[in-house]
A and B are shown apart, each in its own frame.
Chain A
């Protein structure tokens, strides 16, 4: 199991993207029959590592060895041809085709006349699904399946082709416990048949029972690889957190005891299962949890972007938002995770991007005063230290940090009372992050309430006055600032405790 010669080996690979060293000098060995777990916090470089093995990214330096020979994986097709089967977090199924067609996508067997051999496809699909113990009709249209079923089909697709290395990136996120168990049985059987398996999961307790070896990476660097039998959960979490000097967070405390937003029993079809909490004026309430735990969904429901049930009071008055427009009118703002596709108007320079939510302030008589708009916009840019070029340049050409500040400026300008920030510092550099933290201070100093959703746990812990831990659409705990450590947050959010 462990002494076999490696099928695949990463030797000292590195990969950088503009502004971030995603992977730095990582070496890993994959032997046949071994289940190798890879863990690390969000953004630690796991996905980049996987994508290098899958041929999506090419390492900047270092080499990938296949059966001891250095190999250049030019593209995903080359990786597949060498036996790397990858299951990504995002689905790669065609929703309008059947399960069987998806399983054999790109390699449909033909008959002697060159037509598609449907009988063979169906027979093989049935065989594959049976072997995996997946109770899904091979003729079902993928779109009609549940997310969990789609996940299983995704797995069937990946392992139906010949492979020696099977990579699974968070395969159980959408699965219920029983389905997870079945998947794990399947993984064990595949390993017994000599396949090497790279398994990535946030659910640490899963890994302990499944993996043979555990590798922890942090900030793109290898922290260590240990046999699973010799390592405890606590040790894994400690390795994930590391003992680095903490970043500096300029947290100011402005929280009052005056309730701003009171939420009772919020539920949505998108997976929020009865959430209650209160945000006070000047307070930052952090939402912590794993990706897919339901934090973004809570934010969207509060903003009226998704239909929800439950009751909400804003500044003591009951409110109900049927659309984002209602929420904006009441002074609630959402800064979406994906600022490029959901936050910014690339056809505008910075100024109209800032004023768009309160154009009424620019009216002089029936017409907009562009002069006043320009002046007010420039004031915002100065105050938030936004690149002055934003005054005339399309926001498309601003840096990520400046783009984020433009979006925040919009809600300052529109005098929002409550701001929901979804991953506000994702993909921006350290300096710009600091600026965003200062902005959060500015907001709370003015008495705004902030709901901060962040997967950057040190940031979340440092910038929040209280942190609500979200798991499976519920708030399982709300902790005061300082009462929570990164360790206890990860433990609670990943379900390793209790």
Chain B
């Protein structure tokens, strides 16, 4: 049992962990402000929203789909939350669950079109990216809604035991997602559909339902992100959330998820999100202009997808460069389904492992 949990946790975590460590190291060397406590707290706030959305993006990517709409979903949801609270005077205890559910509804629309309409997810969510954004402009004549409620800010800026509250949300959501993906039947179905859709159908799995579920849950995570966004700025705006989808997809991909579906580990997605935010933060601290930051971020994500495609060659390189012990550890294969993408380079390194001993 001990080895099993250990394996689940280490699966595909080595690469993303190395990426995060390396980028942190470079930035820490370039400026001493990086490791400042205030900066680290700031980092945790910055990462929280992207990290929440990235859970949804990972679910969709695991089914072999892609979700481009969460940024626009966030925009609508901040406007809805601001409207509910400021103009309709709903208490937060009602409005927040509503927002999460409505987020789920937005995801459900994507899911229905993809799963039952059999329209490619790229096109469906590219369409809803625009449509949801347009909807956000229908509220308050398209103007942002400021000063929503005094009670909102503590949700984002409050601390508990000296740790910023958003960190707790992130940890809790990732734990739930980890359990969902690794220890439930629908979670397993998501991996199966992404791994081989035909085999999944022939094995009696409800392929459409798995897709629908992934998109719906992605909408719920966009709902959570929308709440945090509204709390962060105490306002709703149709312009919030722009570009979040790329950062969230980037987090999943840097975390090792394959855009072909079936391969990926939710905990590595968190490392991917951290990597993106750390890099942005480091560029900020070194006074790199925003325009250049965007250029860098864009290429990092493209490169991360490339790493997925070049995996076999990288595996061959790793075999030549890394000591066998490291490879063996990093290849610790899954018990459940959270197969390490590094597993795909197994063909490249077969000599150095024998059958594993259990018991």
Contacts and interface: CB of A to CB of B under 8 A. Distances in A.
A78 interface: no
B7 to A, nearest CB: 9
A203 B204 CA distance: 38
Interface in B186-201: 188, 191-192, 194-196, 198-201
A52 B179 CA distance: 54
A154 to B, nearest CB: 27
A336 B198 CA distance: 10
A376 interface: no
A421 to B, nearest CB: 13
A352 B203 CA distance: 12
Contacts of B188: 352, 356, 359, 368
Contact of B203 (A346, A349, A357, A371): A357
From B8, B335, B356, residue with most partner A Cβ within 10 Å: B335
A334 B202 contact: yes
A285 to B, nearest CB: 20
A356 B336 contact: no
Contacts of B195: 345-348
Given A325-B205, A356-B188, A359-B188, A371 B196 contact: no
Given A349-B333, A393-B346, A324 B184 contact: no
Interface of A: 303, 305, 323-325, 327-329, 334, 336, 341-349, 351-352, 356-357, 359-360, 363, 366-368, 370-371, 373-374, 388-389, 391-394, 396-397, 410, 414
Contacts of B200: 345, 356
A325 B206 CA distance: 7
Given A328-B203, A356-B203, A368-B185, A347 B335 contact: no
A324 B262 CA distance: 21
A321 B304 CA distance: 44
Interface stretch (B219-227, B274-282, B337-345): B337-345
B199 A347 contact: no
A347 B194 contact: yes
Nearest to A344: B199
A344 B183 contact: no
B38 to A, nearest CB: 40
B239 interface: no
From B4, B204, B337, residue with most partner A Cβ within 10 Å: B204
A394 B204 contact: no
10 contacts: A325-B201, A329-B204, A334-B202, A336-B202, A348-B192, A356-B192, A357-B203, A393-B333, A394-B339, A397-B347
Interface residues of B, number: 39
Nearest to A364: B183
B334 interface: yes
Contact of A394 (B192, B335, B343): B343
B164 to A, nearest CB: 30
A325 B333 CA distance: 30
Nearest first, the 8 A-B pairs at minimum CB distance are: A328-B204, A347-B262, A347-B195, A345-B195, A392-B333, A367-B183, A342-B198, A359-B185
Contacts of B37: none
Nearest to A335: B202
A343 B204 contact: no
A347 B191 contact: yes
B185 A349 contact: no
Given A325-B206, A356-B188, 4 more contacts: A347-B337, A352-B192, A359-B188, A367-B183
Interface in B206-260: 206
Given A325-B205, A342-B202, A348 B337 contact: yes
Nearest to B1: A371
B185 A363 contact: yes
A356 B263 CA distance: 16
Contact of B192 (A324, A336, A341, A345): A345
Contacts of B203: 324, 328, 356-357, 410
B118 to A, nearest CB: 15
B346 A349 contact: no
B182 interface: yes
A368 B183 contact: yes
A156 B107 CA distance: 51
A346 B200 CA distance: 12
B336 A347 contact: no
B212 to A, nearest CB: 15
B336 A373 contact: yes
B350 interface: yes
A324 B199 contact: no
Interface string B343-355: 1101100100001
B188 to A, nearest CB: 6
Contact of B205 (A334, A356, A374): A356
Given A359-B188, A394-B344, A347 B202 contact: no
Nearest to B260: A347
A244 B347 CA distance: 38
Contacts of A396: 344, 346-347
Contacts of A392: 333-335, 355-356
A349 B262 CA distance: 12
A343 B201 CA distance: 10
A344 B196 contact: yes
Given A359-B188, A373-B336, A346 B202 contact: no
Contacts of A352: 188, 191-192, 336-337
A77 B203 CA distance: 42
Given A342-B199, A393-B333, A360 B185 contact: yes
Contacts of A329: 204
A394 B196 contact: no
B339 A343 contact: no
A169 B341 CA distance: 41
A345 B346 contact: no
Contacts of A391: 355-356, 358
A367 B335 CA distance: 15
B333 A347 contact: no
A138 B300 CA distance: 50
B263 to A, nearest CB: 5
A366 B206 CA distance: 19
Contacts of B182: 368, 370
Contacts of B205: 325, 356
